[in-house]
Structure 1
């Protein structure tokens, strides 16, 4: 059986999960724990050096370490309508690159806003620590957040990510122009990839993607962008209602 190592609330992980479910692939999901989980994954993959992020898909002896590659692999082994029509592959790949840029920018914005909060430091602690004891491990959570920011070169006060995110969302808004889909008249991976860029602006209903524990019902978002991109948020919500079932799978 396929094994997907993923973070439940991560939009990158959801990109892969959405494609696997769309193509009705049989897989089990393994929860990834930052830092400690990375060492375990490197040992399993025999990959001691170089960048490593999740999601990661294992198919026998084959490891795929990028959500785009995982989605394409799901299409090659699964069934259902294609997410990567061959005559539109270049367009879909371009939208995925835009998605990656927007997601990285959104991650930086959220970390800049929340990294110094007690709530996020506690939420960053391993699940195996009992809730009642987590405040005692606050310095550990703060260290994990600093390590995360260093890994992705996130700097406090840097406004460049805000400009990147808004530029990509403006491009999405212009391309959709009130329509349903980005590439032709059919649902594709381009729609999945760009819909998930809104997860860091205003998260989709938690019945589809869980929120990070310990941060309240709103999770982490960028309130100043919610009203600006209300139309895109509505498009994303409609896309999920049409193509995704709460809890995973097809609608």
Structure 2
């Protein structure tokens, strides 16, 4: 069985999970928890980042490389068009989405956590005591800004990312106004990439992330609740309804999409 070394809340891990579901491939998730070492990921792939896909003796790192490998090895329901122009558009938009939506989305997410207490506290488990929720809501944004600097995201960088996402979402909304998919009349890697990477901006209303918190329908204020982008998120949610397998939170042992009853393994990395 395919093994996906991943971080559940990672947009790029979600991109691979959506691709695997789209192709109808069974897989087992190996959750890589921030911690000490990154020894297991480095041991199998020679680098420290997730996602990493293991297919027997073959190990592939990077979500784009994983997508290209899966299209070669499992060609049913292809991700990339064979026509030259359509292929070029697909690959160009996929690369743009990784570099723009992926990176800006993560920065804007940090900005929202810093500056919107209600958004911040919504990521606490439902059984969190009220006193702790009150503390999280009251936590000064200035302290959160210091934390962001520690991970390389200054205040201005975060604000610029949110501003750039508004332009990206407007462009995507315009492109999809008169066509069902980003590059034509069939879904491609471009569509799956854009759909997955925008979940962190506004999570679908159905549970696709296997976490002990309810993310469904939550999103970054000013982006997720902007009516101008509603047609785009409606399109995105249709992609998910058509191709992604929801998580059954009533059965915590089944947490890897089409992977059957295998419980995800957790490894500690930093």
Alignment TM class, shorter chain as reference: 0.7 to 0.9
> How far apart are residue 218 of structure 1 and its match?
5.1
Say if 1:5 and 1:173 are closer, same or farther in 2 by CA, change over 3 A.
same
Say if 1:62 and 1:147 are closer, same or farther in 2 by CA, change over 3 A.
farther
Of residues 51, 58, 73, the one that matches 2:54 is: 58
**Which stretch of structure 1 is more off in the superposition, 238-247 or 225-234?**
238-247
**Structure 1 counterpart of 2:36:** 36
**Structure 2 counterpart of 1:203:** 203
Please give the per-residue CA displacement for 1:129-175, whole angstroms capped at 9, x wherever unaligned.
Answer: xx89xx8xx9xxxxxx9888645x31124322123212222221222
Say if 1:228 and 1:149 are closer, same or farther in 2 by CA, change over 3 A.
farther
Say if 1:191 and 1:37 are closer, same or farther in 2 by CA, change over 3 A.
farther
Of residues 87, 95, 98, the one that matches 2:96 is: 98
Q: Is 1:81–2:77 an aligned residue pair?
A: yes
5+ long unaligned stretches in structure 2? 137-144, 248-256, 259-270
Q: Is 1:5–2:1 an aligned residue pair?
A: no
Contact 2:112 2:221 in 1 (8 A): no
Q: Secondary structure of the equivalent of 1:223? A: coil
**Structure 2 counterpart of 1:109:** 108
Give the TM-score normalised by the residue count of structure 1. 0.76
Q: Distance in 1 between matches of 2:54 and 2:38?
A: 15
Q: Distance in 1 between matches of 2:109 and 2:30?
A: 25
> How far apart are residue 240 of structure 1 and its match?
1.6
Contact 1:98 1:168 in 2 (8 A): no
Say if 1:238 and 1:204 are closer, same or farther in 2 by CA, change over 3 A.
same
Tell me how large the CA RMSD over aligned residues is: 3.5
Q: Distance in 1 between matches of 2:25 and 2:101?
A: 28
Q: Secondary structure of the equivalent of 2:222? A: helix
Pairing of 1:1-251 with structure 2 (within 5 A)? 1-36=1-36, 38-47=38-47, 52-87=48-83, 88-100=86-98, 101-115=100-114, 150-151=150-151, 153-158=152-157, 159-210=159-210, 213-214=212-213, 219=218, 221-225=219-223, 226=225, 227-247=227-247, 248=257
> How far apart are residue 120 of structure 1 and its match?
6.1
Q: Secondary structure of the equivalent of 2:3? A: strand
Say if 1:197 and 1:3 are closer, same or farther in 2 by CA, change over 3 A.
closer
Count matched residues. Answer: 230
Q: Distance in 1 between matches of 2:4 and 2:21?
A: 12
**Structure 1 counterpart of 2:253:** none
> How far apart are residue 192 of structure 1 and its match?
0.8
Please give the per-residue CA displacement for 1:65-103, whole angstroms capped at 9, x wherever unaligned.
Answer: 211111121121224321111222221111112211112
Say if 1:174 and 1:37 are closer, same or farther in 2 by CA, change over 3 A.
farther
Q: Secondary structure of the equivalent of 2:182? A: coil
